[in-house]
Amino acid sequence: MVAVVAAKPLIRVAALCGSLRKGSYNQGLLRSAIELSKEINGLHVESVDIATLPMLNTDLEVDGTYPSAVEAFRQKIKGADSILFASPEYNFSVTAPLKNAIDWASRPPNIWADKAAAIVSAGGGFGGGRSQYHLRQTGVFVDLHFINKPEFFLNAFQPPAKFDSDGNLIDASAKETLKEVLLSLQAYTLRLQGKN
C-alpha cells in the first residue's frame, strides 16, 4: 500500500538577511532554513538579496515609480506569502541594510501589509535579541504579523562552535529550533490566509 500525504497549499517565504558580509552567521541561518524547508511539505524558502538596494532617498521616486533594483525587490516581497528575517544586532538595533530594505518596501503601496513573519538572529551575548525587538516595533507600523514563538536567538561566539569557518550553521539543537520556527511560520501564514 502507498501512503498518501495530503498536499498543503504552498507557502512561499522571502528570506532577508541584515548582514551583507560573506561569512555572515545570519546568512548561514538562512542557508540552513532553506535546507530545512525542503523537509517541510508546502513550504518554500527563497533568499532575497538586499545588497543592491540604494540608500533610501525619496528623490529617487519619480511619478510613483522606484529605481529598478527597488522595483525588483518590491515585486519579490509582493510575491511572497510570508517573510523570514535574519536580523543581526548593530548597536542594540536593526542593521542599516535591513532597515533600508524595510523602508523601501513600505513606500506606497506598503508591500509588507498583512504578511506573516518570523525573526531569527545570531550575534553576541544576547544573540541579536535587541534587534528582534526593534524589528517587531517597526513591524507594527508596516502591518507585518510576527509569530511570537519559538524565539530564536543564537550566541555565535560562545563555545562550542555553532558555525563552521564559512558561516554554515553546524549546531544540531539550533537547527531543530530553526525548523520549529519554520513550522510555526507556515501554520501562522495559513491561519492568516484563512487556509486552515
Ligand X SMILES: Cc1cc2nc3c(=O)[nH]c(=O)nc-3n(C[C@H](O)[C@H](O)[C@H](O)COP(=O)(O)O)c2cc1C
Binding site for ligand X (CB under 6 A): 19, 21, 24-26, 88-92, 123-126, 156
Residue nearest to ligand X (CB): 124
For ligand X, give the closer residue by CB, 26 or 186.
26
SS3 for 91-150, per residue?
A: CCEECHHHHHHHHHHHCCCCCCCCCEEEEEEEECCCCCHHHHHHHHHHHHHHCCEECCCC
Taking the complex as a whole, how short is the minimal distance between the CB of residue 26 and ligand X, in angstroms?
Answer: 3
Lookup: cell for 49: 538579496
SS3 11: strand
Task: Read off φ and ψ for residue 3, nearest 5 degrees.
Answer: -75, 135
Taking the complex as a whole, how short is the minimal distance between the CB of residue 38 and ligand X, in angstroms?
Answer: 23
Task: Read off φ and ψ for residue 103, nearest 5 degrees.
Answer: -65, -40
For ligand X, give the closer residue by CB, 104 or 153.
153
Taking the complex as a whole, how short is the minimal distance between the CB of residue 191 and ligand X, in angstroms?
Answer: 30
The number of helices, as runs of H, and strands, as runs of E, in the chain is 5, 8
Taking the complex as a whole, how short is the minimal distance between the CB of residue 100 and ligand X, in angstroms?
Answer: 15
For ligand X, give the closer residue by CB, 105 or 156.
156
Task: Read off φ and ψ for residue 101, nearest 5 degrees.
Answer: -65, -45
For ligand X, give the closer residue by CB, 85 or 112.
85
Taking the complex as a whole, how short is the minimal distance between the CB of residue 43 and ligand X, in angstroms?
Answer: 23
Task: Read off φ and ψ for residue 85, nearest 5 degrees.
Answer: -100, 130
For ligand X, give the closer residue by CB, 94 or 111.
94
Q: How far apart are the C-alpha atoms of 53 and 43, rounded to whole Å?
A: 27
> Facing residues of 130 across strands?
none
For ligand X, give the closer residue by CB, 126 or 146.
126
Taking the complex as a whole, how short is the minimal distance between the CB of residue 189 and ligand X, in angstroms?
Answer: 25
